[in-house]
Copies of this chain bind each other. A is one copy, B any other.
């Protein structure tokens, strides 16, 4: 938790304060003076007695006790200053703007660590170094402009990049979006995005806290902490949207197996966000648009009425909403005829509701009233109203404002005429509203919000798994791929249904086993990793003669040590995988098996632990889900059984964290049973 003195100080010292407001130390002082700080301000600068009207101390040793120090001096002078403040001045909150620490070189990193130690020793909190600071209801401790409009019901914004925070605030200024707080974590020496979120979770008060959190993240150091507090906040009624930048470079890392190739760490980020219920954004405008949607009441259903005096944007919005799984349903019936009669001839009420270029404020009010009270199929309204520039539209925006305040159904305003009726839009925003200027950005963002699942918090049933046996096998296992027999034992202990199999090194045992299993059988090479690449799989062997021929062929493959024999099972090829993703833990993957994983990349992934319900959700989200369901006269797969195996694999890797990669590929499934046919497990102990 952040020290309370950092967020609500009674006194603040600016070390490196200046009369020059074009320097960080000058600007931050000006910002604090101009933005409502009620406590005591202290300036520190060896060359001044008074700065911007504030008393200035030349020497840090001379300053009185102070809650927060904002430090804007060269890196090399910071440690000594902080020592004095921490040890002698009872300072608990530190914000270090200065650069030249871990982002620069090894010496900088050492210095940064020393500072953190000093601050830790007194139980203090550090934001930065190399950040822009902190803004909240109590003070504007940043050296940047603009200071956004502050409102305790505005968004809490935590940023891993100071410049990005500034650009996001700038872009938000014209929309009406307000801020409750802005935290810039800089190098995250002590406090990163996760820790600020933890703080917001632990101090959350449902009556007074903001319910919207925005994150800009470049590196997730503690995924489990992020998951815990994000899902906790969302369960308390908050909404969270985040950008995790750096998704592409992570994807370039090579990996040795299918799972490895697909499950890059960006997939892990996706899985984490999905599990937590975070809306993932990819750009500043998208983040702002999603945040703005968060500030309006939540959609209770998917049916949207579009109300407009201009056809084009309404058509584009209809397209966009439809593409995002939302509906713009036709409005019909007596009430709709009644409404039509109250509008100018040529209007349309079938949705979009188009009340023509001549439509007025009174008509807008009537339309909204019908949508609110009479059209029960409608869950929310979007009003698109601009101007060709002939006259003012204050009256229209007054109606809109009034209806947003009073209607139970959410009303989203799209006011595109940013030039023609700029004054009216500014007036509308000044009354506490948020405007969307582009219907397509809005529609995509609304779809994204609506399509983000709630936090996935199902519980895993672990009753059947033999964890003692699993630990016994793994404790003696070595790094690298497990041998077929070890794989078999491990999967048996995890209660994964497997097709019968035996490893044979001679023709004779091979024939004997096949006779036991019954023909047809399958032979697979043991030794090479990608069996099908080397022609090491022979399916549907129907006779002893063919069996011997296949055995001979397979044993000639380079690296072949023996053959694996299985009865030939029929069914749809499925895939389940697990992959350790550093500190994210394990990713669990599923899809259709065989070559379709590689080619069509139709894989769903989730962060372990995965419950059966979450597994069912994964299966439903596959593009190829219809094949699993069964289409036409082709029988499908028992989804419950499939989900249970996914859950069991999740349980297995939870007990066996040293499993780096696991592939069940393929499993064969039909409407009655699912068997793992081939499996690989790679161990990586630390």
Contacts and interface: CB of A to CB of B under 8 A. Distances in A.
Given A386-B167, A440-B283, A318 B248 contact: yes
A173 B419 contact: yes
B632 A437 contact: no
A52 interface: no
A453 interface: no
Copies of this chain present: 2
A103 B624 CA distance: 44
B595 A627 contact: yes
A624 B602 contact: no
A58 interface: no
Interface in A195-248: 216, 218, 243, 245-248
A427 interface: no
Decide if the interface of chain A is mainly helix, strand, loop or mixed. Answer: loop
A513 interface: no
B631 A170 contact: no
B418 A171 contact: yes
Contact of A286 (B248, B440, B530, B599): B440
A416 B532 contact: no
A320 B281 CA distance: 12
B311 A420 contact: no
A600 interface: yes
A479 interface: no
A441 interface: yes
A306 to B, nearest CB: 12
A296 to B, nearest CB: 20
Given A164-B311, A171-B438, A286-B440, 8 more contacts: A103-B346, A167-B313, A170-B420, A218-B312, A218-B315, A282-B320, A535-B633, A598-B626
26 contacts: A99-B356, A104-B345, A104-B346, A144-B389, A161-B311, A163-B310, A163-B313, A163-B388, A166-B386, A167-B417, A171-B437, A218-B312, A245-B319, A246-B315, A248-B318, A248-B322, A248-B323, A282-B440, A283-B438, A532-B632, A534-B633, A595-B627, A595-B632, A599-B626, A599-B631, A600-B600
Interface of A: 21-24, 27, 99-100, 103-105, 132, 143-146, 159-164, 166-167, 170-171, 173-174, 216, 218, 243, 245-249, 251, 282-286, 309-313, 315-316, 318-320, 322-323, 345-346, 356-358, 386-391, 416-420, 437-441, 530, 532-535, 595, 598-600, 602, 623-624, 626-627, 631-634
